[in-house]
Structure 1
Amino acid sequence: MCSKGVALVTGAAQGIGRSIALRLADDGFDVVVNDLSSNRDNLKAVADEIQKRGRANSHYTADVSQEEQVKAMVEHVVEQHGSLDVMVANAGILGPTGPLVEVSTEQWDRVLAVNARGVFLCYKYAGMQMIKQGRGGRIIGASSLAGKKGYGTQTAYSASKFAVRGLTQAAALEFGLYNITVNAYAPGSINTPMLVSFDPSEGLDMAKELSPFKQVGVPEDIASLVSFLASKESQFITGQTISINGGAFFD
């Protein structure tokens, strides 16, 4: 089958990243999935699902906070599949929960390294490759409701997701000349392992109360938005961080 192009999705072993990867495969993209080596088995299972959909695929373990690993990952995509047309910088971590005064420097640095530096590195090396290819592209990052509205017990996480918004706007201004759009998605409460880990006993019930629907989203909701942002139909949208939170916050 003819391919729409090649997409790379980071943090794709489970949750939102997995759903994005499968949706892009359904849309006709060949898909490379990434996650940490500790998630290798789940990552390979996602690649196998993409294979069953009839799309070319591969999986690549890397830590997105490490520049040389991100650079090598993008090189792998191009060597194995010929190009990089859609970058989805989805990988992220939650970080410590509690008062700002109890957050250690090490905890702060780790959250910002993955959630902000990791997105920066993905934008950087994807942008370089897309500029080299000379036919535009789509770069998409993961912000959050916590990147639109700060949460006092999620200091580092909120700061990192606000950073993605600023990075997305700045990158959109730089890459627009090359017909590369740069956007981000800002999910609210989505039923994923990350949400459950945030508050195993009450996380889902508390999250439901934030939405006028009295429910939480599912990963496929985010995948649908990313599908649109990766499509030709989104060609006049750039620099945006789009809220998808079931009405938990209006902006």
Structure 2
Amino acid sequence: MGSGYELTGLTGKVAVVTGAGRMRSIGRSLAVELARAGCDVVVTGTGRRPEDRPADEAAAGWDDIASVADEVRALGRRALPVVCDVADPDDVRRLLDLTLAELGRVDVVVNNAAASRGEDRVPLTELSVEAFDRVIAVNLRGTFLMTQVFGRQLVEQGDGGSIINISSIGGKLSGAGTGAYSASKAGVQSLTSSAAKELGSHGIRVNALCPGVTETGRIADRDPDTWQAYVRANLPLGRTGLPWEVAAAAVFLASDQAAWVTGQAWNVDGGQLTIR
């Protein structure tokens, strides 16, 4: 007789994953792994035009959130792709309305949408107000709006639920040249703590995951040798993470087995940060 251990409590649940349209991304893996665990999944993205997609996506015929939705359906679950700007209150309310109209309820919310790396990666003395505001709007304001709007729905449903915010170890390291990003992710961690304390009495758990260097399209801004040198110098496990490894932690946090875990900001980073 074999032995095994299975996470429970996700079959037939409805999960909403923001920022899930890129082919090489944590968001895609979050949607797929939640579907694999039994969830129907709402997949959101910004609706990137084909001409704005990277070469590897173009070569693969990747169609943003539509492709992720197809992967969810291939696992036997329902999928709802929605173009949504999480920094826009009206768009977030529309996202909730569409979710309820198509899938009837919501149980798990994963706030993964993040501003793309760009003009914000400069010293604070050179950082434009526009670049700062763009990062804060998506990373922090978006997480707030999603937590507020979907949190109200979870309270109204009365069945508990799980909100998982994708932060970053950058919010703990606060490195040079990452002032806007680091501040936004530190804010996500603080928001997670406050939300966990406010929503806990309703059986709603709120946690954050803080990935380190992960194999996504976001690390394409440096050549592979530079990244490998950084990894060897800073990560005890000696390798970059894979998107599904971050997603696996999220699936656990959404499951029954994490029923007593809330208000946490867990590092998923190959050991770069320890005990903080």
TM-score, length of structure 2 as denominator length = 0.87
Q: Does 1:121 align with 2:145?
A: yes
Q: Distance in 1 between matches of 2:211 and 2:41?
A: 22
* Structure 2 segments unaligned to the other structure (5+ residues): 1-9, 51-62
Q: Does 1:29 align with 2:6?
A: no
1:23-43 CA-partner distances (Å, limit 9, x unpaired): 000000001100001168211
Q: Does 1:205 align with 2:215?
A: no
1:6-26 CA-partner distances (Å, limit 9, x unpaired): 000000112000001000000
Q: Using a 3 Å threshold, how does the CA distance of structure 1 residues 203 and 23 change in structure 2: closer, same or farther?
A: farther
**How far has the Cα of 1:4 moved from its partner?**
3.0
Q: Using a 3 Å threshold, how does the CA distance of structure 1 residues 222 and 80 change in structure 2: closer, same or farther?
A: same
SS at 2:26 equivalent = helix
Give 1:235's match in structure 2, choosing from 225, 238, 259. Answer: 259
Q: Does 1:105 align with 2:126?
A: no
Residue correspondence of structure 1 range 1-251 to structure 2 within 5 A: 3-14=11-22, 15-38=25-48, 41-93=63-115, 94-95=117-118, 96-197=120-221, 199-200=222-223, 202-209=225-232, 210-250=234-274, 251=276
**How far has the Cα of 1:232 moved from its partner?**
0.8
Alpha-carbon contact 1:32-1:60 (below 8 Å) kept: yes
**How far has the Cα of 1:127 moved from its partner?**
0.3
Alpha-carbon contact 2:47-2:64 (below 8 Å) kept: no
SS at 2:266 equivalent = strand
**How far has the Cα of 1:85 moved from its partner?**
0.3
Alpha-carbon contact 1:207-1:215 (below 8 Å) kept: no
Q: Distance in 2 between matches of 1:223 and 1:100?
A: 32
Amino acid at match of 1:23: E
Q: Distance in 2 between matches of 1:203 and 1:24?
A: 33
Structure 1: 4+ residue segments shifted above 3 A: 200-203
Alpha-carbon contact 1:212-1:246 (below 8 Å) kept: yes
Alpha-carbon contact 2:87-2:145 (below 8 Å) kept: yes
Alpha-carbon contact 2:144-2:191 (below 8 Å) kept: yes
1:106-151 CA-partner distances (Å, limit 9, x unpaired): 0000000000001111111110110111100000101101011111
Instruction: Tell me which residue corresponds to 2:7.
Output: none
TM-score, length of structure 1 as denominator length = 0.96
**How far has the Cα of 1:221 moved from its partner?**
0.7
Instruction: Tell me which residue corresponds to 2:58.
Output: none
SS at 2:109 equivalent = strand
Give the root-mean-square deviation of aligned CA atoms: 1.4
Q: Distance in 1 between matches of 2:124 and 2:157?
A: 44
Amino acid at match of 2:185: K
Between 207-216 and 227-236, report the one with greater CA deviation.
207-216
SS at 1:129 equivalent = helix
Q: Using a 3 Å threshold, how does the CA distance of structure 1 residues 224 and 100 change in structure 2: closer, same or farther?
A: same
1:160-180 CA-partner distances (Å, limit 9, x unpaired): 000001000000011001100
Q: Distance in 1 between matches of 2:223 and 2:96?
A: 36
Amino acid at match of 1:85: D
Counting matched residue pairs gives 249
Q: Give % identity.
A: 38
Amino acid at match of 1:66: D
SS at 1:238 equivalent = coil
Alpha-carbon contact 2:169-2:267 (below 8 Å) kept: yes
Q: Using a 3 Å threshold, how does the CA distance of structure 1 residues 212 and 120 change in structure 2: closer, same or farther?
A: same
SS at 1:92 equivalent = coil
* Structure 1 segments unaligned to the other structure (5+ residues): none
